[in-house]
Amino acid sequence: MSALPPEVLTWIYEQNPDIEDIEDFEDIDPDLDLFDTRLVNSLSLIEFVVVIERASGQVIDRRQLRTEDFQTLRTIQEKFFGGSTEADTAAASATVTEAG
């Protein structure tokens, strides 16, 4: 299974400069609800979709957007990047942390 591209996590970090206030965010839980934690909201969702489109190389039909597809890193991985593992997500998070 492929790793979640670092640019997806980078976008989350850039949109949330106070991210260090979230406990253990270096190891992003792949099941963390991005909307409940307000890391992604309805206003930023379209921009997030564009980031995912660029990273995945596919166009996401805006008419068929479902917030459930963007709820967690795991659902994003499964829907747009062909799978999910906690190790892959942790590796992508570490890459962002090192670059950040």
Q: Cα separation of 23 and 84, whole Å?
A: 22
Helices 86-99, 73-80: crossing angle, 10 deg rounding: 110
Question: What CA–CA distance (Å, rounded) separates 51 from 55?
Answer: 6
What pTM was estimated for this model as a whole?
Answer: 0.73
- Residue whose token pair is 């106070």: 18
Q: What is the pLDDT of residues 36-67, one digit of tens each?
A: 999 999 899 999 999 999 999 999 998 998 99
Largest CA distance in the chain: 36
Q: Which amino acid is at 40?
A: V
* Crossing angle of helices 6-15 and 45-56, rounded to 10°: 160
d(C-alpha 26, C-alpha 90), whole Å: 8
Q: Is the pLDDT of residue 98 over 90?
A: no
